[in-house]
Amino acid sequence: MKKIISIALILALLILSAGCTGPGSTTKGDATGGQTTKSGGQTTTATTTKETSKPVNGDADDTVSAAYGVYIEAKSEMITNLMDGLGENDETAMMVLDLLGVTMLDLTLLPASLFGLGETAVNAGLGFLGASDVRYSENGNQYKVTYKEKEGKAINVEGTYDKGANSLVCSSSTDGKVNLYSEYYETSFGYIGQYYLIGDDDAITVYQISIQGTDGVLGISQSGDYNPLTGRENVDFPKECDAWYAISEQKITGLTADGKEISFTAKGE
């Protein structure tokens, strides 16, 4: 079971990484112009509403994409550490499945990993997934990507980046219906994040996360209104969720959705 879960997580991260390897510069052109490339035999077209010859913020390492990538890497390391710890204990091994949902949301937010890199990178990253009719725009610290996925559904991902706070707030919609809100903030101890998922049947899933090195807390609730983070939350704020799992120096603690408390020390093997 642990190997299957690890493989699933690795595949998700590989897809995300592949989308992030597109070039960070574009050829100058008309503000309403487009560029067409082929990926996997399928033609994709990206357009941008502004002329960009390089990432908006200059150096490729100074883009929102780079900042978001650091957060995603930190989140992945913490979640992997927590999953490994839970997987060591026969009584908690199946709880690892509860953590997979928040990792898969990185795929939904793949366009956010391309914010600030220009139309060529967006086209390459989404073309890898078979997207078509790709459109990309920037307006100051606001970013927007729209495209059609393989089944023809219209996807829209928008984000606002606050460089001073190192925070990114995003929303994702399918065929005009918002189905995901996400956000992260850098803090004095690491990062905090939140994902508010709205299912096809309007079922709500809320993930809240705090990251402190490879330690942290993941909280999960199945109901509730969307309350944006302030950036001032402490490391234990996800423990307000219906269920939560935490790791601190190999000490695993948590509370399941049915009220069962867990506490043990992982071997870290």
Q: What is the pLDDT of residues 148-202, one digit of tens each?
A: 999 999 999 999 999 999 999 999 999 999 999 999 999 999 999 999 999 988 9
Give the per-residue pLDDT at 242.
96
**Closest of 170, 146, 176, 158 to residue 44, by C-alpha:** 146
Q: Which of 114, 97, 4, 107 is nearest to 52 (CA)?
A: 114
- What pLDDT is stored for residue 62 in this prediction? 79
Q: So what's the pLDDT on residue 30?
A: 37
Q: What is the pLDDT of residue 129?
A: 83
Question: Per-residue pLDDT for 21 more than 90?
Answer: no
Work out the average pLDDT over 3-10: 41
Amino acid 169: pLDDT: 98
111: pLDDT strictly greater than 70: yes
Query: Looking at residue 267, what is its pLDDT?
Result: 85
Give yes or no for residue 36 having a pLDDT over 90. Answer: no
Residues of the domain holding 257: 2-265
Kindly report the backbone phi and psi dihedral angles of residue 117, in degrees, each rounded to the nearest multiple of 5, phi listed first. -95, -10
pLDDT band for position 128 (cuts 50, 70, 90) = confident
Average pLDDT over residues 87-109: 91
List the helix and strand counts (H, then E) for the chain.
Answer: 4, 13
Single-letter residue type at 224: G
Long-range CB contacts for residues 30-35, cutoff 8 Å, separation at least 24: 35/119, 35/120, 35/123
Give the total number of structural domains in the chain: 1
**Band (46; pLDDT cuts 50, 70, 90):** very low
Per-residue confidence (pLDDT) for residue 112, from 0 to 100? 96
Burial 111-133 (b: 16+ CB within 10 A, else e): bbbbbbbbbbbbbbbbbbbbbbb
Average pLDDT score over residue span 211-221: 98
Placement of tokens 């499945």 in the chain: 97
What are the structure tokens assigned to 3, written together? 């190997």
Residue 169 three-state SS = strand
**Per-residue DSSP letters for 217-255?**
EEEEES--------S---TTGGGGSSEEEEEETTEEEEE
pTM: 0.78
